[in-house]
Structure 1
Amino acid sequence: MQVTETARDGLKRTLQVVVGKAELGERFTARLDEIKDRVEIKGFRKGKVPVAHIKKLYGKTLMQEVLEQTLNDTSAKAVKDRNERPAQQPKVELVDFDENAFDRIVKGEADLAYKMDFEVLPPIPVADLTTLKLEQLSAEVDDAAVDKALADLAERNTSYEPEEGRVAGEGDLVTMNFVGRIDGEAFEGGSGEGQSLVIGKKQFIPGFEEGITGMKAGDQKIVSATFPEDYPMKDLAGKKADFDVTVTAVAKPKKPEVDEDFAKGLGAEDLKALRGFVSEQIKREYDQASRAKLKREILDALDKAHTFELPASLVDFEFDNIWKQLENNLKATNKTFADEGKTEEELRAEYRGIAERRVRLGLVIGEIGEKNKLQVSQDEMRRALVEQARRYPGQEKQVYEYYEKTPGALAELRAPIFEDKVIDYVIAEAKPVEKKVSRDELLKAVEEATEN
């Protein structure tokens, strides 16, 4: 095999590869030897078919297999011998290859020539992680937070008791039938039977809850309400609708007291134990929020600390995925670029910047992990797969089969685990400074980090 670099432009490479006819002949002969004892042809005993006869009958087919395998083997070796890492699978194109060329190769009269176009990953000098200035927020769980969580828990466990003649008011559960019309015409999704809503929870469009307040079982009324201007369904946005409502039942709320009986009803030994469980849960939530904020800070710091040429093919691939997702979202919500408040050109520039950041961080994270031998174990992959399967009750077998047959899906499952390992490593190296904050300050910081 002869390899010649014919072009080099930044990270782009073009190689000319020639596999000599002698090597092709050896590969072809080896392939014949592999199958000769397995071939069954009428008139011959198994394993006794003359090689010349096999070659005559199956020569072209076997050579096609040999050529495909040769392309795979030699293209991989050509890159490996150069100690380069392709950013993506190289594009391979045969040179001056036609039916006559194929026949000459089969006859052992011609070499196999092809060119390879690919981009290589750039050298990535990882910054000194110990110099990163990081701050880790920490919030303590106080009694007020536990009290609020218990009150919310009690709210979620509210039951409702039907009461004859009760007039619907704040907090009541109203069951009803209704038919909605716009300009006298019923519209899709505007009708319902046996529908329930709790007054005050803003479950319907503005004006509806106010309209049914004061009604009782058996009452019928036309309730007018207006769809918001930003309503997802464009054909309804901003329009006024009239709903013919018949109330069938009104039930009053019965919120449990947060006491010993309430705690035992939730499986706790007593109220003190329940408060302990709730406090631990809140602490986990705080820690998760703190880590999310710190992770974003780390990614920002890594992005800022590294500057190197990015493979255009990876950036284009990432940008295309982001752009397709944006177009699909706009289509699903019946919106346009104008609704985003920017021109298409401005959005393209913005999302290309996002694509570049993702590619840069992906390469940096991969480099940190590789240099420090961070790996995802089989047990970690197994646990992730089990967790993924649990999200689809009754379809666990199909989930397992999907991941077994789809290597790309396994890579997607592995990626976040690997990234978290790198984040943990960076934290250990950078040793963030701990800063005590209140719950509100923590959540505000996380929100701001998410928006930026």
Structure 2
Amino acid sequence: MERKQVPPVDDAFAKTLGYEDLEALRESLREKKRLSHEANADRIAGAALLDMAGANLTVELPAELLAQNAEYQMTQLRQRLRKSQMTMELYCKSAGLTPEQVREGYRKEAERQLRAMLAVRAIAEAEKITVTQQEVDAEIARLSKLHDTPEEEIRKVLSRDAIAAAVTNQKVQRFLLDHAALTSVVEKE
């Protein structure tokens, strides 16, 4: 059996990657990791702020729409369970829930999502947050590169409106993050 030769991780290796030395390579990797963690934390915080904005909306959501969504999700769950040779009864037993509790969870999630969507619309309108065609094109290019898929394929799967809505959502989340009053909680020792 032939063994792969792994090059030593040293200054010479770092130079082949365009870095001055091994420490510069390590620092670059640390910075990329820090930025990745920061971006993820921003996404989580932005989504949480959007959920809070949605929860604070004074709007009556159509109960029938929420019930339909919950029923759709229940049907999807049943299909996934069937494919994995599992029954709803076993699923509920393992989760410690009744089918009604699962359905109610889906109803609440539909309400949360709908409220967040309405909050995005309201905030975008109030703050005049818009998305240009260039931003949609840039997002298509980003998705193409991220998924190593031709832009034309991305355009076939995602409509411009869907991409514009996603970019609007990101911009509203960024707006909320930029304007949120942040507090820090330090535990007493």
TM-score band by shorter chain is 0.7 to 0.9
Task: Please point out which of 53, 70, 82 is paired with 1:331.
Answer: 82
Helix, strand or coil for the counterpart of 2:129?
Answer: coil
The gaps in structure 1 that reach 5 residues or longer are 1-160, 163-250, 437-452
Alpha-carbon separation, structure 2, partners of 1:299 and 1:289: 15
Helix, strand or coil for the counterpart of 2:60?
Answer: coil
Shift of 1:331: 2.8
Paired residues of 1:322 and 1:355 also in contact (CA < 8 A): no
TM-score (norm 2): 0.77
Counterpart AA for 2:66: V
Paired residues of 1:318 and 1:359 also in contact (CA < 8 A): no
Alpha-carbon separation, structure 2, partners of 1:428 and 1:398: 34
Alpha-carbon separation, structure 2, partners of 1:260 and 1:294: 39
| Number of residue pairs the alignment of both structures matches | 181
Structure 1 match to 2:13: 262
1:276 aligns with 2:27: yes
1:361 aligns with 2:111: no
Structure 2 match to 1:429: 179
1:416 aligns with 2:166: yes
Counterpart AA for 1:423: Q
Shift of 1:311: 2.5
> Would the alpha carbon gap of residues 256 and 380 (structure 1) be closer, same or farther in structure 2, given more than 3 Å must change?
same
Helix, strand or coil for the counterpart of 1:326?
Answer: helix
Helix, strand or coil for the counterpart of 1:433?
Answer: coil
Task: Please point out which of 44, 48, 70 is paired with 1:319.
Answer: 70
1:125-140 pair list within 5 angstroms: none
Shift of 1:345: 1.7
Shift of 1:317: 5.1
TM-score (norm 1): 0.36
Alpha-carbon separation, structure 2, partners of 1:420 and 1:276: 29
Higher relative contact order, chain-length normalized (CA < 8 Å, sep 6+): 2
Paired residues of 2:69 and 2:106 also in contact (CA < 8 A): no
Shift of 1:421: 1.1
> Would the alpha carbon gap of residues 321 and 418 (structure 1) be closer, same or farther in structure 2, given more than 3 Å must change?
farther
Deviations 1:62-108 (A, max 9, x none): xxxxxxxxxxxxxxxxxxxxxxxxxxxxxxxxxxxxxxxxxxxxxxx
Paired residues of 1:299 and 1:361 also in contact (CA < 8 A): yes
Structure 2 match to 1:380: 135
1:137-176 pair list within 5 angstroms: 162=2
Shift of 1:383: 1.0
The gaps in structure 2 that reach 5 residues or longer are none
> Would the alpha carbon gap of residues 412 and 285 (structure 1) be closer, same or farther in structure 2, given more than 3 Å must change?
same
Counterpart AA for 2:119: V
Alpha-carbon separation, structure 2, partners of 1:275 and 1:368: 41
Q: Which has the higher strand share?
A: 1
Structure possessing the higher radius of gyration over alpha carbons = 1
Shift of 1:274: 0.7
Task: Please point out which of 37, 42, 46 is paired with 1:286.
Answer: 37
> Would the alpha carbon gap of residues 259 and 377 (structure 1) be closer, same or farther in structure 2, given more than 3 Å must change?
same
Alpha-carbon separation, structure 2, partners of 1:399 and 1:287: 27
Alpha-carbon separation, structure 2, partners of 1:321 and 1:392: 32
Alpha-carbon separation, structure 2, partners of 1:267 and 1:325: 50
